[in-house]
């Protein structure tokens, strides 16, 4: 649920695809939004490189800039629009040849974009990503007969999951996101993802494993499983959840060290799924499980299909079956009709359960969603105050967790040099997803990105930790 902006055309790290020998021109790429969108970006980067386009690190001087937008909430759309206008300003000054807009905002608001930023050369929807090279050809006038008459390309949601091989990766070489399905069958009243991404479509197990092996061969040691709903995996294709079978298949991928699971919907976290995750040799004790609220009435208005009792029982089963598990969750504050008492119920729940990692977002009114028609919408200042109140509680929980780690030993994956402390590197424990959670400042010799170290925690620094490397992980 976060929006993440990558640097302009970040220099690719260990991409699995390389440019053709007859370069067509230079391009820059900007990826906005969630890790699922990032996978789409890497696939498009790979397609363009294969077609002969050369990636450059800066927008200035590029023949074309491709922007993969996020359209999830209004804040993300405004960020996307701001980046588009920034690139169009470079185009107007002659520093950029053309601008292509792709992704979720393009899919959701194609008409709005054409009205607000008519200077955009081409617009391509989420499921037009496989044809990005042809779109860029038109934008760079390599198909001049089509450039004006065909300014947009949209394809229907696929009946089977798109392939994500041959990606030109923009994550560090040692970790990558692995998308196991596309779309969502949920009817959550606040969410527009099904409108942008279509219905849930499972990627077959053998295809996921093939992609995993390709990524590991390219240097990946940590795979981060993503989907709109990871625990729903397999329901459309196999008639039942097949996440346990997928986990067992990934356990057999040689060279893979860590598997991290994001976006696990609570409804299908059965004992079978929990046992498979907890018993895996690769899956680390971390689970991202967005809960959104705890009040029964609010959950019903959200159409979350779970209630407080079921949620609490699930959380206690997870704690009992999976030692050292770090749970990340997200909540929405200020949902239409949320009373003071229901908000206090949520705040108290956060204080009582003590999630290791937690984010909270103000409700965002999304046009065209069922929640738009609910009564009880509240002012932004009320929603923001409720967000701040929950984060004040969670800050104390997180600081307490960090302080409790002092003196303990943790396996840590090294991400790179520490930008603030010479002679140190930055890494992550199993409790930390890249760019979302916390970090560990590690003092140690000869530690490189992708290395694993056993680290003794010597201090807590707010949310983060500091420690020294004392050997190899267990």
100 φ/ψ angles, rounded to the nearest 5 degrees: -115, 130
**pLDDT at site 413:** 98
d(CA 422, CA 48): 38
Give the residue with greater pLDDT, 16 vs 433.
433
Q: Which two tokens stand for residue 55?
A: 């990636």
On the question of pLDDT at 312 being above 50, the answer is yes
Q: What is the mean pLDDT of residues 115-138?
A: 95
Dihedral of the CA atoms 227, 232, 237, 243 (nearest 10)? 80
Tokens 């998308």 belong to residue: 179
* Burial state string for 231-245 with b = 16 or more CB within 10 A and e = fewer than 16: bbbbbbbeeebbbbe
DSSP code of residue 341: H
Q: Within 13 Å of residue 203, how many CA atoms lie on the same side as its CB?
A: 25
On the question of pLDDT at 276 being above 60, the answer is yes
* Residue of 28, 11, 93 whose CA lies nearest to 66: 28
- Percentage of the chain exceeding pLDDT 70: 93
DSSP-assigned letters across all residues of 190-254 = T--HHHHH-S-EEPPHHHHHHHHHHHHHTT--EEEEE-S-GGGTTHHHHSS--HHHHHHHHTT-T
**Cβ neighbours of residue 343 under 8 Å, at least 6 residues apart?**
333, 334, 386, 389
Helix and strand totals (H; E) in the chain: 15, 20
Gyration radius (Cα) of the chain, Å: 22
**pLDDT at site 98:** 96
Q: Within 13 Å of residue 251, how many CA atoms lie on the same side as its CB?
A: 14
**pLDDT at site 17:** 39
Q: What is the mean pLDDT of residues 275-285?
A: 97
d(CA 365, CA 52): 42
**Cβ neighbours of residue 313 under 8 Å, at least 6 residues apart?**
none
Q: Which two tokens stand for residue 58?
A: 């800066």
Comparing 87-96, 106-115, 416-425, the range with the smallest average pLDDT is 106-115
* Burial state string for 141-170 with b = 16 or more CB within 10 A and e = fewer than 16: eeeeeebeeebbbeeebeeebbebebbbbb
**pLDDT at site 370:** 96
**pLDDT at site 333:** 98
Q: Which two tokens stand for residue 238?
A: 């196999």
On the question of pLDDT at 2 being above 80, the answer is no
Reported as a single tens digit per residue, the pLDDT across 314-361 is 999 999 999 899 999 999 999 999 999 999 999 999 999 999 999 999
Tokens 């699930």 belong to residue: 314
Q: 292: left (phi > 0), else alpha (psi -120 to 50), else beta?
A: left
pLDDT band of residue 5 (cuts 50, 70, 90) is very low
On the question of pLDDT at 3 being above 70, the answer is no
Reported as a single tens digit per residue, the pLDDT across 154-172 is 999 888 899 999 999 999 9
Give the residue with greater pLDDT, 202 vs 141.
202
d(CA 76, CA 2): 9
């Amino acid at each position: 649920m976060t929006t993440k902006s990558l640097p302009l055309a970040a220099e690719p790290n260990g991409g699995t695809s390389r440019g053709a020998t007859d370069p067509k021109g230079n391009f820059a790429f900007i990826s906005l939004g969630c890790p699922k969108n990032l996978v789409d970006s890497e696939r498009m980067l790979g397609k363009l490189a294969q077609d002969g386009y050369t990636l450059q690190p800066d927008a200035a001087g590029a023949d074309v800039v491709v922007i993969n937008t996020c359209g999830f909430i209004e804040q993300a759309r405004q960020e996307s629009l701001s980046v588009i206008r920034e690139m169009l300003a470079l185009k107007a000054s002659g520093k950029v040849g053309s601008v292509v807009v792709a992704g979720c905002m393009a899919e959701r608001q194609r008409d709005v974009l054409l009205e607000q930023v008519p200077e955009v050369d081409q617009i391509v929807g989420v499921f037009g990503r496989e044809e990005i090279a042809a779109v860029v050809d038109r934008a760079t006038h390599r198909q001049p007969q089509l450039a004006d008459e065909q300014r947009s390309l949209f394809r229907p949601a696929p009946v089977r999951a798109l392939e994500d091989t041959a990606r030109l990766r923009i994550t560090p070489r040692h970790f990558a996101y692995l998308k196991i399905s596309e779309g969502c069958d949920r009817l959550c009243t606040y969410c527009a993802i099904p409108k942008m991404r279509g219905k849930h479509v499972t990627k077959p197990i053998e295809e996921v494993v093939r992609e995993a092996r390709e990524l590991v061969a390219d240097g990946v040691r940590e795979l981060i499983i993503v989907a709109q709903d990871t625990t729903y995996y397999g329901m459309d294709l196999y008639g039942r959840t097949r996440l346990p079978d997928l986990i067992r298949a990934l356990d057999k991928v040689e060279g893979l060290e860590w598997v991290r699971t994001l976006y696990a919907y609570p409804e299908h976290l059965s004992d079978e799924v929990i046992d498979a995750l907890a018993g895996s040799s690769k899956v680390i004790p971390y689970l991202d499980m967005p809960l959104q609220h705890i009040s029964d009435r609010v959950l019903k208005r959200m159409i979350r299909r779970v209630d407080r009792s079921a949620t609490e029982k699930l959380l206690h089963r997870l704690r009992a079956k999976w030692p050292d598990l770090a749970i990340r969750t997200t909540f929405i504050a200020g949902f239409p009709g949320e009373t003071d008492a229901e908000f206090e119920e949520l705040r108290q729940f956060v204080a009582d359960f003590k999630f290791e990692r937690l984010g909270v977002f103000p409700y965002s009114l999304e046009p065209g969603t069922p929640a738009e028609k609910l009564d009880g919408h509240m002012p932004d200042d009320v929603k923001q105050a409720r967000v701040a109140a929950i984060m004040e509680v969670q800050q104390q929980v997180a600081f307490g967790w960090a302080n409790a780690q002092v003196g303990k030993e943790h396996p840590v994956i090294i991400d790179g040099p520490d930008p603030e402390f010479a002679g140190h590197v930055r890494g992550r424990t199993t409790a930390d997803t890249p760019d979302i959670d916390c970090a560990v400042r590690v003092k140690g010799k000869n530690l490189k990105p992708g290395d694993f170290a056993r680290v003794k925690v010597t201090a807590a620094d707010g949310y983060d930790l500091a420690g020294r490397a004392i050997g190899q992980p267990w």
